[in-house]
Structure 1
Amino acid sequence: MSIQMTPALLKLAAKCLLRDQALAIAALESLPAELFPDLFVLAYRSGHHCQLLKAMAQAWPFPVLPLGVLMQHPPDHAATRAMALKAVFDALDVLLTQEVRTRRCKLRVLDLRNTGANFWHMWLGDNAWDCSPTGPVTVHSSSPNMEHPQAPLEVFLDLNFNERDLDKFFMHIIQWAQQREGLLHLCCKALWISAVPFQRVRGILDRMKLDCIQEVEVNCTWDLPTLGTFALYLGQMSNLQRLSLPYINVLSEENEDEEQEEEGEEEFLSQMLRLRHLRELDMCSLSFLRGRLDRMLRCLQTPLDKLSIIYSQQLTHSDLTHLFQCPNLRQLKSLDLFGLSLMDFSPEPLRALLEAVAPTLRDLGLDKCGMGDSQVEAILPALSRCHQLRFFTISKNNFSVATVEKLLRHTTGLRSLELELYPVPLECYRTQETVDQETVALIQAELMGILRELGRPRTIHLGTKHCRDIEF
């Protein structure tokens, strides 16, 4: 049976089987594998075919069962999800205790993450599965650095703490896995914490082995002692590759114990030393790093692929010097310094860094850095050698028309560029906040003439100081 030729027939056959649950269960050993996805989704969504779900999981003819993405699609009522999960877990309990599996069963991975949309789309042909990452479903293996024996079954789960209360769900999965230690391995590769108290997170982390986690993102308002406590868990994530603190707001109240604050700072920095596989680092407004950025950078054990420092105007001249001279930034693929104040800073350290990363750099963001004409001119030669550059944004800075023209000329040889965002020149502003549209039109025509002269089609964006873009 060819799924490419008969998708409608497959759906019709699945609906017919669903009418007689006993008959469907009896036929599973002989059913074509192509029928399983349609039949499973129909049984899951109905909420009344738990025995069929259990039987299908025990006879699942694919290596991966991407159940997590089903839980993201309506109708996803808590009761329906609970019954479906219980049915699948009951089936796994049977499989894990069997010495010999059934002929059909190929199941090795239960994926409870919001991934696997392509699996269901491939079999069901349903365009509603576009919510999760693209790419084929693969059997993700754990990192070779992890110290756990190979288990017959791997269960993948992302920990996403936000306004949706999933704590009980996470705890249930963790306890279920702990009770079957040795028979399966629970692997959590991603941890996201958004606007929740740390106590909600701590109870879950206390029960987990954290060496599987490869990605952490925190968007919370915590005080420094809390950040220090979280760092103790961070240090246990020995395979962490991406740490993102994009919107963490570190509280410091007048009555805060200064000794506790210092302990929190020290704990965070000391635990960073344990992250030997960190490749991507995103930070935003971490005021406690003022004057300590060199210590943070010295914690890096391996060269970074990506560095993003956003809205950290409080960094000192010494901080910036250490930033641009850090040896572990010499292989960067992505550098974003949005809102970093370079107004009174010598451009030489930044120029030296760009020269060093020219062979590898793909994305460069220097938006709202307070840069002027002379600072840009200093980095132009280094910029023109970044031949791998795909995305280059340098908007919301204070450049003249002449400097924007020089930027266009120096970047014309960068054939990989896909996105370019430059600031509207200073000559276009009537006041600090108001743009003269007639002047913009004249300068736009002038810049278009330069692009024609350079002889390479390009799409250029000019950004005003208040985020409005002009494309030409």
Structure 2
Amino acid sequence: MFQPHSLFDLAKESLVKNESAVTGPLLPIPCTVWEDLFTEAMQSNSQVIVAAMVAACPLSWLDLDSMMEQASSSLSMLSSVFKGLGIMLDQRPPCATGQLTVLLPPAPETWVHEELDPEHRCYFENRPAEMQSPRKPRRERRSRSAPRQPVGELELVGDLSFKMMQSNELLTFLRCRVQEGKVLPLLCCQKVTFSDDLPEFPVIEKILGSVRLDRVEELRIHHTEDRRLLSMLAPYLPRLVHLRTLLLQSLVVKQGSSRQRRLLARWNTDEELDGIFTELTSQLTHLRQLQHLRLSNVYLCGNVGQFLRHLETPLESLTISSIPCSLEISDLQALSSYPCTSKLKVLNLSHNNLANINVGLLRTVIYKISATLDLLDLSHCGLLNSHLVAILSALSQCEQLRLFRFCGNCVDVSTMKRLLRRTIPTDKSRLMVLPLPDDAEDDDDDVYDYEIESRFINGLSLLLQELGVHSQIYVIRDEEFLEEHIKVLMLRT
């Protein structure tokens, strides 16, 4: 039976067949069919049509994040979208009052690939609802928008990375418009990151001038060799009034190759360090919404207090990890002295050399945050039995503790049993990630004996059972550090 084509089918066929004839913005397309036609054009990889349709978009809200999930080549389609947005900006009429908001898809490889352990990742992925990204609720506005007035203001909503690479279409679009002296759209970004391969500083400053800085919630600076970046960014910090997460990572390199040693020398002169941290940290007092401070592989020795003294609002999480030197007494004193650390839920001091620390100061730090501490990471810190015994009294006060990591250190079986006895959970589960004790292995055999492993695990299970705790215990092989550690999940019965 013959079925006539619908008007939509005819419009779609006409649009695709005449792609080669399209040289500029299309005639106005009704809002009722524009979104469906646009989706069809993307699925057909019709780049010219996509650019022309974007330039003539009649909507006030365009959710590319959802639409481009079905595109056959999202990168080329995104390039066509930005081409259309450029045409729209260049041809906008004077005194136009309409606004188009475009929700961009996440850029690939935008963020640093942090080496989070599965337990850490689980914690951060299960944060309370109020800490989650605001992007998802806004997707509900994807319903077919009413026609708008000619565009006078274009707003792009999406994360912004200043790392120049082929897949970073947003930065390519913005950089080209700056170099051509053209107007930029408004940028509403939740996350902003700076890395190596940066654009020229005048280009960065011009783009930052279009960013709604009061909407930025995460700022990440990592793997940069140019200290001028921190000096350039310092004046912008007071305007980041809703910043919740600040991450500084790999701003120095550990000694290794001759090139690395030269870079280390560039960063780590006392005079230059003083200038870097004074200029940056003096602005932190304006960050009254800051909840997460992560300092990883940053030359901090003796400078932790410079970051903490300017923060007035209590932090929720603090990471001081992989510092390329030993933390000093003043650093630990700062952790227990300033109000911003009084309500920490997460304290990560992993991969620091704490072998020669004053363990009493570490115990004081844990005591201070025992009422709120949810995650404590002391893994790979060069700690011994004596250190663990010294902080047991403080650990026993951490009733909210869900995860304690101590792997990569040295403890014996008797000390581990003392730890388990002192840290029985009260009313919730608790995961302990601990080193495999040396005296739990067979000294006469280089190959681990699984029968000895089984006896050791059964002994721990029996101990916890006698204490009224249901447990799951298993040995994990850490391929990165070529070591074995045990995970002890305790559930109060």
After TM superposition, the score normalised by the length of structure 2 is: 0.69
Change (3 A) 1:186 1:285: closer
Q: Does 1:264 align with 2:276?
A: yes
Match of 1:304 in 2: 315
Q: Which runs of 5+ in 2 are unaligned?
A: 1-5, 18-25, 108-131, 142-151, 254-262, 489-493
* Alpha-carbon distance, 1:305 to partner: 1.2
Change (3 A) 1:403 1:66: farther
Match of 2:240 among 238, 241, 246: 238
Change (3 A) 1:412 1:229: same
Match of 2:74 in 1: 76
After TM superposition, the score normalised by the length of structure 1 is: 0.72
Q: Which runs of 5+ in 1 are unaligned?
A: 1-11, 102-106, 116-131, 142-150
Change (3 A) 1:65 1:460: same
Opposite residue 179 of structure 1, the aligned amino acid is V
2:231–2:279: 8 Å Cα contact kept in structure 1? yes
2:382–2:409: 8 Å Cα contact kept in structure 1? yes
Following superposition of structure 1 onto structure 2, how do residues 179-198 of structure 1 map, counting pairs within 5 Å? 179=183, 185-196=186-197, 198=198
Q: Distance in 1 between matches of 2:462 and 2:95?
A: 74
Equivalent residues, number = 419
Match of 1:86 in 2: 83
* Alpha-carbon distance, 1:29 to partner: 4.4
Q: Does 1:66 align with 2:64?
A: yes
Q: Distance in 2 between matches of 1:254 and 1:30?
A: 60
3-state DSSP class of the match of 1:19? helix
Match of 2:453 in 1: 440
* Alpha-carbon distance, 1:365 to partner: 1.1
Q: Does 1:466 align with 2:470?
A: no
Change (3 A) 1:257 1:133: closer
Change (3 A) 1:171 1:448: same
* Alpha-carbon distance, 1:308 to partner: 0.4
* Alpha-carbon distance, 1:336 to partner: 0.6
Q: What CA deviation, in whole Å up to 9, does each residue of 1:137-157 have, x standing for no partner?
A: 42799xxxxxxxxx9764223
1:50–1:87: 8 Å Cα contact kept in structure 2? yes
3-state DSSP class of the match of 2:57? helix
Match of 1:295 in 2: 306
Match of 1:425 in 2: 437
Q: Distance in 1 between matches of 2:377 and 2:196?
A: 27
Following superposition of structure 1 onto structure 2, how do residues 350-365 of structure 1 map, counting pairs within 5 Å? 350-365=362-377
Q: What CA deviation, in whole Å up to 9, does each residue of 1:208-240 have, x standing for no partner?
A: 2362333122221425x4354244355355333
Opposite residue 188 of structure 1, the aligned amino acid is C
Q: Does 1:342 align with 2:373?
A: no
1:71–1:81: 8 Å Cα contact kept in structure 2? no
3-state DSSP class of the match of 1:136? helix
Match of 1:226 in 2: 228
3-state DSSP class of the match of 1:448? helix
Q: What CA deviation, in whole Å up to 9, does each residue of 1:146-175 have, x standing for no partner?
A: xxxxx9764223222336244432325778
Q: Distance in 2 between matches of 1:238 and 1:100?
A: 28
Match of 1:390 in 2: 402
Following superposition of structure 1 onto structure 2, how do residues 120-135 of structure 1 map, counting pairs within 5 Å? none
Q: Distance in 2 between matches of 1:444 and 1:226?
A: 53
Match of 1:126 in 2: none
Change (3 A) 1:32 1:172: closer
Q: Does 1:170 align with 2:174?
A: yes
Opposite residue 305 of structure 2, the aligned amino acid is D
Q: What CA deviation, in whole Å up to 9, does each residue of 1:411-462 have, x standing for no partner?
A: 332544464311111313567x967434333212211223433444444455
* Alpha-carbon distance, 1:339 to partner: 1.7
2:43–2:71: 8 Å Cα contact kept in structure 1? no
RMSD of aligned Cα (Å): 4.4
Change (3 A) 1:441 1:170: farther
Q: Distance in 2 between matches of 1:331 and 1:171?
A: 42
Q: Distance in 1 between matches of 2:97 and 2:224?
A: 51
Q: Does 1:20 align with 2:14?
A: yes
* Alpha-carbon distance, 1:295 to partner: 2.4
Change (3 A) 1:299 1:159: same
% identical aligned pairs: 23
* Alpha-carbon distance, 1:13 to partner: 10
Opposite residue 246 of structure 1, the aligned amino acid is Q
Change (3 A) 1:98 1:454: farther
3-state DSSP class of the match of 2:192? strand
3-state DSSP class of the match of 1:314? coil
Q: Distance in 1 between matches of 2:355 and 2:465?
A: 33
3-state DSSP class of the match of 1:245? strand
Match of 1:111 in 2: 103
Opposite residue 64 of structure 2, the aligned amino acid is P
Q: Distance in 2 between matches of 1:305 and 1:356?
A: 14
